Structure 1
Amino acid sequence: MSLIGFGRAASLRTIFVAAATLGVAQAASAAPTVSVELNRLEPRDNACRVSMVIKNEAEKALDSLKLDLVFFDKQGVIARRLAVEAGPLRASKTSVKLFEATDLGCDAVGRVLLNDVTACSGEADCLGLIATSSKVKDVEFGK
């Protein structure tokens, strides 16, 4: 191999390593920093009380976290849409938030969709910051 060929291979290797490092750094920065768990659905008169466990894993507080939630019945039909304010969230802290979904029977819920995050203290990609999960039997919670 000539000296020129060696230099070219080294340059390509350097470019590849730099690109891979940049990709890992971007993936790490896009990793969810807030986990939202659907923890419980509890019947209340003419409503369903929604309990969520929200963990802010970031080192900065969120003054606002507005969630656009859509509830589907067991047949997959939209039953209710609910916009809730889950903030403020302190940095590196887990909180429990309760919401009332009126005119919704808890036993009718088959799935909850985090349709959008309309505010989260000025972050560019609010929805990308969130990871979802569900502890409620037979009720999926996703985005």
Structure 2
Amino acid sequence: EPTAERLIEELSGPARFVLSRPERLRQLQEARMLFEAFLARVAARSATADQIATIEAALDANGKTIGDPEAFVRTNMDFHLAIAKVSQNVFVDSLHTAVQAWLAEHRRVAVQQQGSAERAFARHVEILDAIRAGDPEKAE
């Protein structure tokens, strides 16, 4: 059965090599953003009340970590994973977790830029509002 841990373990070497090239890092970031936009659309169409509550809790935790880049990246990943879990697809969960892990260090650096965490959190609030409203286009 696919797990994020196995995927990360088996592909981390090649991923590190690929991510050592700035162009490839940018491309993986773009792929992550497209993947997360798709997952947000899925969540807006099909999230249950319990799943929305889980996403809300993850967002609340994320907001409390603004100012702590390490914790913000971790809770940011938790927020996006809560959205990914709405799909109830083990491959989606595993792939999403692996991509997040490969990009975590780069995101820690990015989130330290002035206002970056605040902008990301504000976008997360918009995503959650769209999921609650069942609006896939705004969730994207």
TM range (shorter): under 0.3
Taking structure 2 as the reference length, the TM-score comes to 0.26
Taking structure 1 as the reference length, the TM-score comes to 0.26
Q: Which structure has greater strand proportion? A: 1
Relative contact order, higher structure (CA 8 A, sep 6+): 2
Q: Which structure has greater helix proportion? A: 2
